[in-house]
Amino acid sequence: MTPKTPKAEKTGLSRRSLLKTGAAAGVASLFPAPMLWAQNIKDIKIVHAGQSYSTIPNIAEQANKDLGFTVEMQTLDQTTQTNRMLTQADTLDVVDLPNTSMKYFLGRDILMPLAVKDYKWWDKTVPLFTAGTYPSGEAYSMQGYAPIKAQYYTSEKADEYSLTPTEWLVGVPLYYNADTIGIRPDLIDRPITSWADLLSSEFTGKVALQDGVAIGVPDAAMALEAMGEVTYVDKGNMTKAEIDATIDKLIAYKKDGHFRSFWTTFEQSVQLMASGEVVLESMWAPAVTEVRTRGIECKYNGMKEGYRGWYIMMMGMGHLTGLQRDCAIEYMNWYNSGWVGAFISRQGFYNSVPDNVKPLMSENEYGYWYEGKPATADILNPFGKVMETAGAVRDGGALWDRMGNIGIWNSLMDEDRYLVRRWQDFIAA
């Protein structure tokens, strides 16, 4: 059982402040319990399971330098991670998840609600998450699983989401981005400006989709709607009739030989584009950049119907108590304090607290990644590899040029199980 600390609370020395400042050493005789926590912090291990671009050894190494406890990272694919959280929740302490996984855990007492007061960067977090708007105050698209749909709990019970701000966070928003179509302009005779081009007969046999309902379906829906072939009330949360109309159309395109492939991994998407097997495909921004590092032209400009948005959140697990819980919260605060944000921004993702990131990136880096400015020197990835050379401008421009034009968010639909079955029909057709 964790000792109580009434005296520490009276003096304003909470366990978390003791963790951060080491103040316990100076008050050992007065506050033996906090001193015990400070002595034992080195024995704490936080197990963080998450995505391949967030559970990177370099980040764990930096965390173990900066924090007084151990961070162990485990990289899991989304399905494995979801199953692990549902069946072995007590083997994990902190997790990061795509927005499309959030609803699986609601009301199950698996995740820890986080009080706004315990997250020190909330007032600096971009309003996509804090208010459900762009910086201008304008509301963004609510099609798909928009950030505000799973950012706040109605109460500490954590059994219902709130669309308006409360004192309880579902988690800490980490990264977000605006995705679009990957393009080989050297193999195409005209500009690509609409999602409709993804299904144009001009490119039959030269198109790939991501094999999954969270990304492949929204991309296909954007294309079908742009072509006028399917009309949706909310293409990010389709009815069964809309799902059937979508999948039936895609099956017809597949039988006509329109799709060259369906990719599941980052490397597969890179190889399809780099080899010239496809000229248009669902793609992630870092994959486009990886193609370019091979000396191959590849574009990622926005479509007139808007981008597909997504985001990643970090949560503590519901089993955490005492010092273990305090260390998990401290780790989540550290994760968005700047160093990690700068590291991952160099892969092409945006951090939710840009003000913390900017001082830890060069003027050239921040100008290129966040402000849409031409690079004044080589742009390097987090591992020192040249990604772009001087004069390059990020596709789509500055942060809010891209994130300010979202047509749909990655989605977890109410009819998700039905959609998965119909998607499998499509893949098998």
Q: Does 18 or 341 have the greater pLDDT score? A: 341
pLDDT of residue 23 exceeding 50, the answer is: no
Distance CA 160, CA 393 (A): 42
Q: Does 99 or 403 have the greater pLDDT score? A: 403
Q: DSSP string spanning 42-108?
A: GG-EEEEEE-TTTS-HHHHHHHHHHSSSEEEEEE--HHHHHHHHHH-GGG-SEEEEEGGGGGGGTTT
pLDDT of residue 1 exceeding 80, the answer is: no
**Can you give the pLDDT at residue 407?**
95
Reported CATH class of domain 44-170+309-336:
alpha beta
Does the fold of domain 182-306+405-428 match that of domain 44-170+309-336?
yes
Whether the CB-CB separation of 221 and 195 falls below 8 Å is answered with no
* Least-confidence region, from 24-38, 133-147, 341-355: 24-38
Which of 160, 50, 51, 171 is CA-nearest to residue 112? 171
pLDDT of residue 25 exceeding 50, the answer is: no
Its sign, for the CA torsion 351, 396, 138, 145, is negative
Which of 204, 219, 203 is CA-nearest to residue 263? 219
pLDDT of residue 34 exceeding 70, the answer is: no
pLDDT band at 6 (very low <50, low <70, confident <90, very high): very low
Q: What is the pLDDT of residues 145-197, one digit of tens each?
A: 999 999 999 999 999 999 999 999 999 999 999 999 999 999 999 999 999 99
pLDDT of residue 372 exceeding 50, the answer is: yes
| Cα within 13 Å of Cα(174), Cβ side | 28
Block residue for tokens 């015990």: 36
Is 386 buried (19+), middle (13-18) or exposed (0-12) by CB count in 10 A? exposed
Q: Does 34 or 256 have the greater pLDDT score? A: 256
Rounded average pLDDT over 326-334: 97
pLDDT of residue 79 exceeding 90, the answer is: no
**Can you give the pLDDT at residue 391?**
97
Which of 237, 258, 277, 288 is CA-nearest to residue 418? 237
**Can you give the pLDDT at residue 39?**
56
pLDDT of residue 355 exceeding 90, the answer is: yes
Distance CA 171, CA 173 (A): 6
Q: Does 396 or 24 have the greater pLDDT score? A: 396
Percent with pLDDT over 70 in the chain: 91
Distance CA 30, CA 10 (A): 12
Whether the CB-CB separation of 403 and 348 falls below 8 Å is answered with no
End-to-end CA distance of the chain: give it in Å, rounded: 57
Q: What is the pLDDT of residues 65-75, one digit of tens each?
A: 999 899 999 99
The overall average pLDDT reported for the chain is: 90
Beta bridge partners of 26: none
Q: Kindly report the CATH number that applies to the domain delimited by 182-306+405-428.
A: 3.40.190.10
Q: Does 32 or 70 have the greater pLDDT score? A: 70
**Can you give the pLDDT at residue 331?**
97
Distance CA 235, CA 231 (A): 8
Block residue for tokens 């199980």: 417
**Can you give the pLDDT at residue 31?**
33
CA angle 373/183/191 to nearest 5° reads 80
Q: How many helices (H) and strands (E) does the chain have?
A: 16, 18
Distance CA 105, CA 103 (A): 5
Distance CA 286, CA 347 (A): 6
Burial pattern 309-345, b for ≥16 Cβ within 10 A else e, equals bbbbbbbbbbebeebbbbbbbbbbbbbbbbbbbbbbb
Q: What is the pLDDT of residues 378-412, one digit of tens each?
A: 999 899 988 899 999 999 999 999 999 999 999 88
Distance CA 92, CA 37 (A): 21
Its sign, for the CA torsion 29, 30, 36, 41, is negative
Residue 175 backbone phi and psi in degrees, to 5: -120, 160
Return the DSSP state at 164: S
Give residue limits of the domains in the chain: 44-170+309-336, 182-306+405-428
pLDDT band at 99 (very low <50, low <70, confident <90, very high): confident
Task: Give the full edge-to-edge strand order of the sheet including 152-153.
Answer: 114-115, 168-169, 152-153, 161-162
